[in-house]
Amino acid sequence: MCRNRRHLIPYIDEIRTVPTQRLLKLEFGFTSPNATNIYQGDMEPQETETMITGDLNTALVPWVVQYRITDPKLYLFGAREPEKTLRDLSESVMREVIGDRTVDEVLTIGRHDIETSTLKRLADLCSQYGLGIQIQQVQLATVRPPPVVQAAFNEVNQAQQEKQTAINQAWAVYNDAVPNARGQAKEREKQAEAYAFHRVNEATGEAQKFSLLLAEYRKAPEVTRRRLYLEAMQAILPRLQKKIIIDDSLKSILQTLPLLPTDQGKTQ
């Protein structure tokens, strides 16, 4: 006599297998063609991905939630439809997170923060509702503005990129010019210090020279005075073009003051 499979184990009417070893996922705003379970895809992708940001702009935000079943008992009996419950919770949390941010944050710099915040809040809710599910990852897909404002967004994005390029170029010029200027200033400072050191040493030497002369002068004033006079003449006379030497012993020479150059004073 043939028996039904469910009668092989006494007192068990139905066996439900729970894939605890598999990484499952739910898709929002799109549906992959190679879905691994019936709950994976989104039946209303356009409506799901349309989000209102905190500054009342619209953004299209598709995303994926990856999860594992960690408690089969809670998964089967904690909620009537755990996948639908998880989908509703995920969409609610994502809309809340997007609503706390500006459209610029959603479309540009806020991607990682959105994923992290959504993951934490969704994990807390799954634990609170006792779904027996552990959220592994929340990953945004291609976030974009609606088609009607795509062109304007591209222009704004291009302007921001040009602004950043200009800033980077300015910093490059700054990073090149400032070290050069500092190097030149340092070099001039060293030159000034060297010149000051030279002048101080020169002045010190002159002072020592005069001190020695003073000592010599005090020993023999007349000799020292004549020596200084001769040294001065030795330095001055070579620079003169014409020299007139008058002997003090000659009394008959008429001392005159020539007012005209020598060649003009001659009789024609």
For 239-264, what is each residue's pLDDT tens digit?
777 766 666 666 665 555 555 555 54
Contacts of 121 (CB under 8 A, 6+ apart): 93, 96, 97
Task: Determine the pLDDT at residue 219.
Answer: 76
Contact between 74 and 132 under an 8 Å Cβ cutoff? The reply is yes
Mean pLDDT within 151-167: 83
Mean pLDDT for the stretch of residues 2-8: 48
Best-predicted range by mean pLDDT (67-81, 131-145, 248-262): 131-145
Task: Report pTM.
Answer: 0.56
Q: What is the pLDDT of residue 266?
A: 47
Average pLDDT (137-152) is 88
Predicted confidence at residue 247, as pLDDT, reads: 64
Cβ neighbours of 161 (radius 10 Å) = 10
pLDDT (tens digit per residue) in 93-104: 999 999 999 998
pLDDT of residue 248: 66
Other Cβ atoms closer than 10 A to 76: 13
pLDDT tens by residue, 173-200: 888 888 888 888 888 888 988 898 888 8
Q: What span, in angstroms and rounded, lies between the C-alpha atoms of 132 and 73?
A: 7
Q: How high is the mean pLDDT of the chain?
A: 83
Instruction: Determine phi and psi for 86, rounding to 5 degrees.
Output: -65, -40
Residue partners of 39: CB distance under 8 A and separation at least 6: 26, 83, 84, 87
Is the confidence at residue 205, as pLDDT, over 60?
A: yes
User: Helices 82-99 and 111-129 sit at what angle, rounded to 10 degrees?
Assistant: 140
Q: Which residues pair with 27 in a beta bridge?
A: 64
